Chain A
Amino acid sequence: MDSEDDMHDANDIESLDDDFYSGETEDAPMDYYSDYDDDPDDYFDDADDSDRVESRRPEQNFTVLMEPDIRQRQEDDITRVSTVLSISQVAASILLRNYNWSVSKVHDAWFADEDQVRRTVGLLEKPVYENPNARELTCGICFEAYPPSRIQTASCGHPYCFSCWGGYIGTSINDGPGCLMLRCPDPSCDAAVDQDMINLLASDEDREKYDRYLLRSYIEDNKKTKWCPAPGCEYAVNFDAGSGNYDVSCLCSYSFCWNCTEEAHRPVDCGTVSKWILKNSAESENMNWILANSKPCPKCKRPIEKNQGCMHMTCTPPCKFEFCWLCLGTWSDHGERTGGFYACNRYEAAKQEGVYDETEKRREMAKNSLERYTHYYERWASNQSSRQKALADLHQMQTVHIEKLSDTQCQPESQLKFITEAWLQIVECRRVLKWTYAYGYYLPEHEHAKKQFFEYLQGEAESGLERLHQCAEKELQLFLNGDSPSREFNDFRTKLAGLTSVTRNYFENLVRALENGLCDVDSNGAASSKATLSKNAAGSSKGRGGRGKGAIRASISSRMADDNHWSCEQCTYANVRSATACQMCNQQRR
């Protein structure tokens, strides 16, 4: 898509200077995630960090910094420069501020031309202004005469009284972060006003503000660090370029893209995301109705409110019609029981038949393009709100239900971990699925094969997720309501854990395929895959080994090799040997 943008972004990241000291900085702060990896119980018991499902990825290329960590790093950098250059700490701090807190840049510049560096940052070696050796000195701001004890000077020697310094420094601090680069008041003088002078001359309140600016500068001017963009969050993230994966998750549970600071959007690239967000704000007035939380039942027309996360709706009695929130179609068409091809994710433009005149055609096209956008936007937005709901449910699970369930079912909490895992999976999958709709919207219409392959993978992933979400939401409810151990609980465990793993596989495939730019299609002849997939769309469960399928099976087979199980052709679930049909999707064993 926006390949130029991407290139640009990538270069930005690559151009991060690799501090030659970074090796030492690395192990200084705590590595939260490796702690969690060692002790999985810790990980899940920590109720607030629900988003951290992502951090389980092995290549951890970021570190979350809390204020003490930031101060520590800042202090370490200052000390390092101060030691190597044999200058004071405050001088080192001024140097680092001028070179975006890059230790290596300071060193390079200093050893290349110390005099030049001193001149530009305002670190004078000796005064440029000789105070006449008098009993009284005249302040250069109020022009009053003072005894030398009531006069202060920066390294340059220009004399100002304490009260004028106080006013000068205070004005600058209240003007904003520019105070970090404050120079001598003399217009022809560049001498820096260092932190020692600030501490000596500024009011307590101003000193605190200055200190804040200094801390912020360490994060904001440093190319390797950013504040977490979540409202109210005070953590920062240090990012090490390399893996090409920009998703980071903060300890506050917010996941965001380090490159564009939007909410995490893997596997969709930053350019697509920013285009999509722009589009959404342009269309927001047209789309308000989509965010409404109720729709008329397609059968009895009574308004039905959506108060759960999964898209499977059941109308209130006596109607009890089961339908899909997104397309308002019968739920039984959605692949669960029929094993049919899940097609709710696909947008089909209305057939244009008959003769249109020009205006009519144009109106029809405009309507189509809005309809098309609406299709994708509604699915994007529904997955977003569904994810919010799932996050809340996950939290509720961790804080209330698990404990209760442990009592009623007489199961140790450690054996209920499969429930938390299911919810973590749902939250992450909703996020990925949401962004695949932005991806789908921008996937060129004419790339038929790619489009079909994509919709196939997306449809499989989505229908798996709907099954999982429904199971975690509705079937679990039965046990939450019960008050004694239930014999069905073990079956439920098997089913939920199975659905979790199946859904994870589907999404891993989807993510991998999108990150490869759907190139599997190109390499194997677009025409054939198109044919196979459209046949599948008709509902036949046979011959579903199209391109997509092959790729999926190949990538999963390794973990399914086990004599006591057979792997379902359709959903990949590992069924016990005795089962003749898949326990997940009812597909017959072949």
Chain B
Amino acid sequence: MKQVPAEYYQLMEQLQTVDFVLVELTLYLDTHNDDIEAINQFNHYVKERKHLKKAFESQFGPLLQFGNSYSGYPWNWDDTPWPWQV
């Protein structure tokens, strides 16, 4: 049975880390829409998540679908593992 390498967990946690900052800043900005520093910080992490997404997907396949990630060949969106399985 094929299991994901340790690097999967490391890269995933890096992504979860940056995405968590983005979730927190999103909710904050929903009630503080004129905080320019928070918006700059938000955009900084948007850029960082783009890099991390790319790095993760190049090794472990698409994170999103419906066209929000490129596909490998053969179609690899439905490859295991799913998040609750790892």
Real binding pair: no
| B interface residues with partner A (beta carbon < 8 Å) | none
